[in-house]
Amino acid sequence: MRVIIFGAGRVGSAMALDLAADEKFEVTVADIDAEALRRLAGVERLTPVRADLRTVDMIQRLAGAHDLVVGAVPGPLGYGMVRSVIDGGRDIVDISFFEEDPYPELDELARRRGVMAMMDCGVAPGCSNLILGAAQAEMDHVESFSCWVGGLPSVRRQPFEYQAVFSPIDVIAEYTRPARLVENGKVVTREALSEVEHLDFDGAGTLEAFNTDGLRTLLRCDVPNMKEKTLRYPGHADKMRMLRDTGFFSTEEIEVHGARVRPIDLTSELLFSAWHMGEDDEDLTVFRAEVVGRKGEDTVRKTYQMLDRLDRDTGTTSMARTTGYTCTAIVRAVEAGLFRQEGVWAPEAMGRTEGCFRFIFDRLAERGVVFHEEEVVVPVRQGV
């Protein structure tokens, strides 16, 4: 299969190297960053190409020469890139996590063009969607779904105790975009960074969790109670709330000494330096998902937990591993013929499809990203 990856950042590069190591794939990776491409030069079955991915013609020309596109561009570029790929008649597996709703426009376009677009193929959204989809296929009825997930530096350093392993502008969006949850069958909205709770995780200690808008396509599932929260070291939410409420994340222009600026652009530049992950820094990813539902007369609670760390041998960050390897596992599932349906889809559809869930999580385990599964069955008379 001829695959082209749009984006050679940390995650895009990790995916390119992972797929190129497999004889089933010939891989091209495209980006405008010459230095990022230089680091991928000389790898067998991997061709770096310098390209401006903001232009429709370039996207469609490159996509047209390949069997499958993998999208790994920053969120603000994601929707336009995916639309261009679909309109050009190529299948795409994407991790750009753009803010726009792909329904109905992109879904209708994909069906007209006869192509598949698989969205949100990372760790969360991504693995979280697969877990819920598999639970829906296994249980008679799913009552609730909860997910807690976060990427963190292994070493805590004040004042932020955080390092960004992907675009800071995408991180800031988590702190500003209203969070959608489902309560008693209805979609409700909460302020981002709200409803902070503290949870304990083996290997990571006590972390704080707060509302972010991570359910995305899961809002379309028939589950009466759902939430996703982002994990950080305790105290981070207060700092981000202070910056947000003071206006540092605002997208509205203000005048400063005669110049018009958007505060978020300045803040993003400053935080990029403060949050930069250096060559010697290490990160970890913490994940917990819980599904509660009914099987016959029993109430069942299934819990999935994962703790992953930077690969010291290759220097691949944990966030690149957990996000990128989920995406390449989905690419492998598509190549194996396990899932290919026209239209826009998300991983919960694969979770509900026979054979996909185990295939993908086995590929992750082969790469050291291991999800520990626990099931507790409680007779209905005892409750949960």
Same domain? 191 vs 324: no
Residue 382 located in a structural domain: no
Has residue 40 been placed in a domain? yes
**For the chain, how many structural domains are there in total?**
2
325 touches 367 (CB < 8 A): yes
Q: 273 with 356, same domain? A: no
Task: Report the relative pairing of strands 372-379 and 141-153 from DSSP bridges.
Answer: unpaired
- On whether both 107 and 19 belong to a single domain, the answer is yes
CA distances from 276 to 127, 233, 280, 341 (A): 26, 17, 11, 39
- Do residue 204 and residue 328 come from a single domain? no
Residues 176 and 254 both lie in one domain: yes
Q: Within a domain: residue 371?
A: no
Confirm if 134 and 348 have CB atoms less than 8 A apart: no
Burial of 26 (0-12, 13-18, 19+ CB in 10 A): middle
Tokens linked to 30:
């495209």
Residues 88 and 137 in one domain: no
Which of 294, 309, 324 is the last residue in one of the domains?
309
Give strand ranges (E) for the chain: 2-6, 26-31, 46-50, 68-71, 91-94, 116-118, 141-153, 179-183, 186-190, 197-201, 205-211, 225-232, 254-256, 259-261, 283-295, 298-309, 343-345, 372-379
What's the pLDDT score for residue 221?
Answer: 95
**What tokens were used for 75?**
């969120």
- pLDDT number for residue 384: 46
- With a CB cutoff of 8 Å and minimum separation 6, the contacts of 104 are none
User: Which residue segment(s) compose the domain that 234 sits in?
Assistant: 127-309
What pLDDT is attached to residue 227?
98
Kindly report the CATH number assigned to the domain that includes residue 48. 3.40.50.720
Same domain, 248 and 118: no
| Within-domain flag for 373 | no
377 lies in a domain? no
Query: What DSSP letter does each residue of 99-149 carry, written as one string?
Result: SS--TTHHHHHHHHHT-EEE---BBTTBHHHHHHHHHHHHSSEEEEEEEEE
Shared-domain flag, residues 238 and 167? yes
Question: Do 35 and 148 share a domain, yes or no?
Answer: no
CA distance 370 to 72: 23
Residue 379 lies in a domain: no
Query: What b-and-e string marks burial along 180-208, b requiring 16 or more CB atoms within 10 Å of the CB?
Result: bbbeeeeeeebebbeebeeeebeebeebb
Q: Note whether 45 and 118 are same-domain residues.
A: yes
Answer yes or no: do 237 and 355 share one domain: no
pLDDT (tens place) for every residue of the chain, 384 residues total: 999 999 999 999 999 999 999 999 999 999 999 999 999 999 999 999 999 999 999 999 999 999 999 999 988 899 999 999 999 999 999 999 898 999 999 999 999 999 999 999 999 999 999 999 999 999 999 999 999 999 999 999 999 999 986 667 778 989 999 999 999 999 999 999 999 999 999 999 999 999 999 999 999 999 999 999 999 999 999 999 999 999 999 999 999 999 999 999 999 889 888 898 888 899 999 999 999 999 998 999 999 999 999 999 999 999 999 999 999 999 999 999 999 999 999 999 999 999 999 999 999 999 999 999 999 997 655 544
pLDDT at residue number 380: 59
Entry pTM: 0.94
What pLDDT is stored for residue 166 in this prediction? 67
Asked whether residue 44 falls in the same domain as residue 178, the answer is: no
Q: Report strand pairing: 372-379 vs 298-309.
A: antiparallel
